[in-house]
Homo-oligomer: A and B are copies of this chain.
Amino acid sequence: LTLATAGQHTVRRHNLALVLGAVSAAGRTTRAQIAQATGLTRATVSALADQLLAAELLDELDPDRGAPGRPGNPLRLNPRGPGGLGLEVNVDHLAACVVGLDGSVRAQHVEPFDVRAAAPGATLRRAADLADRAVAEAGIPITGAGLALPGLVDRDGVLRRAPNLPQWNGFAAAETLAVLLGVRIDAGNEANLAALAECSAEGLRDFVHVSGEVGVGAGVVRDGRLYAGVRGFAGELGHVVVDAAGPPCTCGGSGCLEQYAGLDALLRDARAADLDELVDRAGDPHVGGVLAAAGRALGVALAAAVNLLDVSDIVLGGSYARLAPWLIAALQAELERRVMSREIGMPQVRVSRLGPYAAVRGAAGSVVARLLAAPDSVGKAVVSA
């Protein structure tokens, strides 16, 4: 890896990112086309492309003899070049994935794990094992990792409060995992990272993505960018009230959405052991009633979110992606009663196609996005297959 150290040459970094961005946008393009798209000279593009090829960020294909005009060797993002590792520690599961520079998913795993019952150190060791497995399968070098966590994560990547994992409050999870894996790790809120993954995957620009796990969180995207709030704590949909006089919540409040539609509440009310059993028994009238009630509560909280945020789409993710068929009618009915702008236009309710992988894909994607924006930082790649 031959690129200069980060920070030394900001113009060069800018131009490297410009070339990489042009290739990323085009998918497959020539040096001449990059020069045209970026306004850089042909010679500059060639020199930068050579550096990006040497760093294995770009890949050169055979000349495209069928194309019109002067043939040139097409360039693309190198699918075997350095990529990003995504990790997730959630209340009842762990996940890891590796995403290539071109956005391709090289490996992804989710495994059930009772994080509430385990010591944080034991959880991190298990997560590190899962990461190793994903990296080995992916067969590409990793330049960094993103870690999705279920709680308030500040802009320094510290998990400040996780009501469903109180022993993790203030715990330096990312730093410890970085030591275990030998790679830079940036932590973020799982619902925010899931929303970013959804943004890339579906091309939506104004939406709320709901992560229906034991905790219920949301990521808000406005005009294609994450709305994270002043400290990064925005989107706590699980603690929007359905009935202020309702049951006590882990957050200290009462009647929060999470108490009506969080996965723990659903399993308890449906007397199911896990999500698989809940889905299997969803046709049972009692379980169907539990899911319809959860759909109503979700509709109440999402109507509040739409009234405050004015988004055009709602994406149901996490366990809600699987439960959607039994939630959606009751949810829609509440939206149709409560969204102020319903006569002008209703938000579209969609089901995430990323399923349980959204947060971990967003975590890996954030590493790739950083790499594309600052290609010279690839010199710091430390984990290799």
Contact residues of A with B, CB < 8 Å?
152, 154, 160-161, 163, 206, 218, 220, 222-223, 227-237, 239-245, 251-256, 296-297, 300-301, 303-305, 307-312, 334, 337-338, 340-345
Contacts and interface: CB of A to CB of B under 8 A. Distances in A.
17 contacts: A163-B340, A206-B230, A228-B310, A229-B309, A229-B311, A231-B344, A233-B310, A233-B340, A233-B341, A235-B308, A236-B308, A241-B300, A241-B338, A251-B338, A252-B338, A253-B337, A304-B304
Contacts of A309: 227, 229, 234, 308
A309 B232 CA distance: 9
B161 A344 contact: yes
A230 B310 contact: yes
B230 A227 contact: no
Nearest to A343: B161
Contact of A308 (B220, B342, B345): B220
Nearest to A160: B344
A216 to B, nearest CB: 11
A229 B154 contact: no
Given A227-B227, A244-B300, A251-B338, A236 B161 contact: no
A344 B236 CA distance: 15
A131 B245 CA distance: 46
B218 A312 contact: no
A342 B161 CA distance: 10
Contacts of A305: 308
| 8 A-B pairs with the lowest CB-CB distances in the bound complex, closest first | A229-B310, A236-B307, A253-B338, A234-B310, A206-B230, A233-B310, A240-B304, A244-B300
A239 B340 contact: yes
Given A222-B229, A233-B341, A241 B239 contact: no
